[in-house]
């Protein structure tokens, strides 16, 4: 079984997007393909077992074959690193990974292996991406965030660690390049990487849609409470609006997909937002994603009654408005099994902007 290791220069560079695209491309080319996240840091409970959330994504949304424990053999719980430093036991990490890969190997020609963080992440527990890729005898693709100078600098640094562990680096994929700078960045980064002896496998334009969270994302990420509209939690948030001004001023900032962050006792702005939402039927395009009521305030029950009659999700938080808005803005949403549109988009942009044939050839696939 050929193994393609998807690494990155930093967190949130786009490993999952690339893994999704490569996984689907391999299937389309007729290879029996599996997915594995050997070391996971963000996990969920599946029964009694901790499994990485990316493994759950592949299992649920792409129906990846194999037991979940094979797709996510090792997760790092809180406090593990400190324990490991005083009692190092590499076998406790590598044995389950190698067992999982053996289980998957029996029925698959290619494995898409997703790393975690930059090349050095995991070094403290003897399981950096470079060390794990070496153990798996994988070829490596490195994903970097958009840019020229910083991006190439980081790629060289990461490449050096992979090479130190004798992992063949197929090349780099530059992700999240702004459309308006795409031509310029693409030309420069391709030449810059060639100058450094690295292959540029693709330059992917920034797709804002991939960064839009849903109301469910923020509900789950911040353990909020649903006041009403729980059936509309898949509404996508396109922008975040703090409704701290008077309604007549606030209304101008409402756009389709707005999450209105508003103190729970500002009935005026709450009702103005709902009114704007209802206007959609009268040829106005505003349809808000939802409301986040802050300060631990719940509106008067007569207002709650009105909110319940509108198909808008309303969440509650104890945080003040500024803190709540900051937290939501800082959220980098991971692709989840429910994000069917994002998964399709990830597949499309990888097949159209990345030289997947080159990656498969370098991995030894015909």
Partner 1 sequence: MAKILYVDADCDRTREFTRLAAKKGHFVTVATSAERAMLCVEREGGFDAVVLHLILPGIDGAELCRWLERWSCLASVPRVVFTGPETELRIDLTHGLPRWLPAHRYLDSVDTMDRIVAELERVLGF
Helix (H, G, I), strand (E, B) or coil at 10: coil
Residue 223 or 332 with smaller CB distance to partner 1: 223
Query: Tokens 């994002």 appear where?
Result: 342
Residue 98 or 298 with smaller CB distance to partner 1: 298
C-alpha 204, offset from chain centre:
15
Across the strands, what pairs with 236?
214
Residue 271 or 365 with smaller CB distance to partner 1: 271
Supply the minimum distance, in Å, between the C-beta of residue 287 and partner 1. 20
Q: Which residues of 37-71 are buried (b: 16+ CB within 10 A; e: fewer)?
A: bbbbbebeeeeeeebbbbbbbbbebbebbbebbbb
Helix (H, G, I), strand (E, B) or coil at 174: strand
Residue 219 or 227 with smaller CB distance to partner 1: 227
Supply the minimum distance, in Å, between the C-beta of residue 281 and partner 1. 20
Residue 290 or 333 with smaller CB distance to partner 1: 290
Residue 136 or 312 with smaller CB distance to partner 1: 312
Residue 27 or 306 with smaller CB distance to partner 1: 306
Q: Please say whether the dihedral angle defined by the alpha carbons of residues 314, 317, 321 and 324, taken in this order, is positive or negative.
A: negative
* DSSP character string of 224-268: -EEEE-GGGTT-B--EEEE--S-HHHHGGG--TTEEEEEETT-HH
Residue 160 or 309 with smaller CB distance to partner 1: 309
Supply the minimum distance, in Å, between the C-beta of residue 317 and partner 1. 11
The set of residues, in sequence order, having a beta carbon less than 8 Å from that of 181 and lying 6+ positions away, is none
Supply the minimum distance, in Å, between the C-beta of residue 298 and partner 1. 4
Residues 98 and 339: their CA atoms lie apart, in Å, by: 31
Supply the minimum distance, in Å, between the C-beta of residue 319 and partner 1. 15
Contact 33, 110 (CB under 8 A): yes
C-alpha 144, offset from chain centre:
14
List of residues contacting partner 1 (CB under 8 A): 225, 227-228, 298, 300-302, 304-305, 308-309, 316
Supply the minimum distance, in Å, between the C-beta of residue 86 and partner 1. 41
Residue 164 or 300 with smaller CB distance to partner 1: 300
Please provide the size of the chain in residues: 366
Supply the minimum distance, in Å, between the C-beta of residue 296 and partner 1. 8
* DSSP character string of 104-168: HHTT-SEEEEE--SSTTTTGGGT--HHHHHHHTT-EEEEEEES-SHHHHHHHHHHHHHHHHTT--
Residue 49 or 225 with smaller CB distance to partner 1: 225
Supply the minimum distance, in Å, between the C-beta of residue 222 and partner 1. 15
Would you state the structure tokens that stand for residue 212, as one six-digit string? 């839009």
Supply the minimum distance, in Å, between the C-beta of residue 309 and partner 1. 6
Supply the minimum distance, in Å, between the C-beta of residue 302 and partner 1. 7
Q: Provide Rg for the chain, Cα atoms.
A: 23
Would you state the structure tokens that stand for residue 80, as one six-digit string? 């593990």
The set of residues, in sequence order, having a beta carbon less than 8 Å from that of 163 and lying 6+ positions away, is 169
């Amino acid at each position: 079984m050929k193994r393609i290791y998807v690494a990155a220069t930093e967190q949130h560079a786009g490993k999952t997007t690339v893994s999704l695209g490569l996984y689907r491309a391999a299937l389309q080319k007729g290879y029996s393909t599996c997915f594995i996240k050997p070391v996971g840091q963000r996990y969920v409970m599946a029964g009694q077992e901790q499994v990485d959330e990316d493994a759950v994504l592949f299992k649920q949304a792409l129906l990846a074959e194999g037991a979940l424990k094979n797709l996510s053999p090792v997760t790092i719980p809180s406090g593990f690193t400190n324990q490991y430093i005083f009692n190092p036991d590499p076998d406790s990490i590598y044995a389950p990974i190698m067992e999982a890969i053996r289980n998957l190997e029996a029925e698959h020609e290619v494995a898409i292996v997703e790393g975690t963080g930059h090349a050095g992440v995991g070094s403290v527990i003897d399981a950096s991406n470079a060390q794990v890729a070496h153990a798996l005898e994988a070829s490596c693709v490195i994903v970097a965030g958009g840019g020229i100078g910083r991006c190439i600098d980081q790629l060289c640094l990461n490449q050096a660690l992979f090479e130190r562990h004798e992992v063949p680096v197929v090349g780099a994929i530059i992700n999240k390049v702004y459309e308006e700078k795409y031509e310029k960045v693409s030309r420069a980064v391709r030449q810059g990487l060639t100058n450094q002896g690295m292959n540029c496998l693709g330059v992917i334009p920034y797709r804002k849609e991939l960064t839009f969270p849903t109301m469910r994302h923020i509900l789950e990420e911040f353990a909020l409470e649903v006041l009403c509209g729980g059936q509309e939690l898949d509404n996508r948030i396109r922008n975040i609006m703090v409704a701290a001004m008077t309604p007549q001023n606030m209304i101008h900032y409402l756009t389709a997909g707005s999450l209105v962050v508003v103190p729970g006792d500002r009935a005026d702005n709450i009702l103005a937002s709902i009114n704007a939402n209802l206007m959609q039927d009268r040829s106005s395009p505003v349809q808000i994603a939802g409301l986040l009521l802050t300060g631990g305030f719940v509106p008067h029950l007569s207002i709650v009654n009105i909110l319940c009659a509108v198909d808008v999700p309303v969440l509650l938080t104890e945080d003040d408005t500024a803190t709540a808005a900051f937290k939501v803005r800082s959220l980098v949403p991971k692709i989840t099994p429910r994000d069917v549109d994002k998964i399709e988009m990830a597949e499309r942009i990888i097949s159209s902007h990345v030289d997947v044939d080159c990656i498969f050839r370098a991995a030894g696939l015909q």
